[in-house]
Amino acid sequence: MTEDERRAIEADCERLIKLYVNLNDAQDWQAVAALYTEDARFARPSKPDAFVEGRAAILESFLARPARAQRHVIANTVVDVEGPDSARAFSVIVLYQGEPAQPGELPAMDPKSPLIGTFRDRIVRTAEGWRFAERVGGLDFRP
């Protein structure tokens, strides 16, 4: 693999991570779930040992969440390319959340905000493009 190919994979994987955050904040759960492989595993930062397995189950877990106002900030992302079709990534995540607001109003921030944690990802190239094969969250501080 050339340096240019490695950098392209890093950029594609970092874009996947950023797209995930934006789609998550838009609460576009169909699009969020589509960023996982069919057999992916996902563990939320608040429950790093409780895996949801499979794209359909991941979608169902997002659809079951109560509505909330939210904004994620992703930072310090480092992608380690393992090969032409696989990579691992580490990111720091900051989540601000609150109750949904009335139209035209800003939501009040939840007193537990912000939550600060991490994501450790295993990312693979599929026929659909780069997708999460495994996404494991964790919290760095108690709320």
pLDDT in tens, 93-133: 999 999 988 899 999 999 989 999 999 999 999 999 999 99
pLDDT digits (tens, 9 = 90+) for 59-98: 999 999 988 999 999 999 999 999 999 999 999 999 999 9
How far is 38 from 56, CA to CA, in rounded Å? Answer: 8
3-state percent breakdown (helix, strand, coil) of the chain, nearest 5: 25, 45, 30
User: Which of 15, 2, 6, 5 minimizes the C-alpha distance to 129?
Assistant: 15
Query: How many structural domains compose the chain?
Result: 1
pLDDT at residue 56 in the model = 98
In this prediction, residue 143 has a pLDDT band, given cuts at 50, 70 and 90, of confident
Residue 23: give the domain boundaries: 3-139
Read off the CATH number of the domain in which 68 is found: 3.10.450.50
pLDDT at residue 67 in the model = 87
pLDDT at residue 27 in the model = 95
Q: Which residue has the tokens 């759960």?
A: 29
Q: Which residue has the tokens 């429950």?
A: 47
What is the SS3 assignment for 11? helix
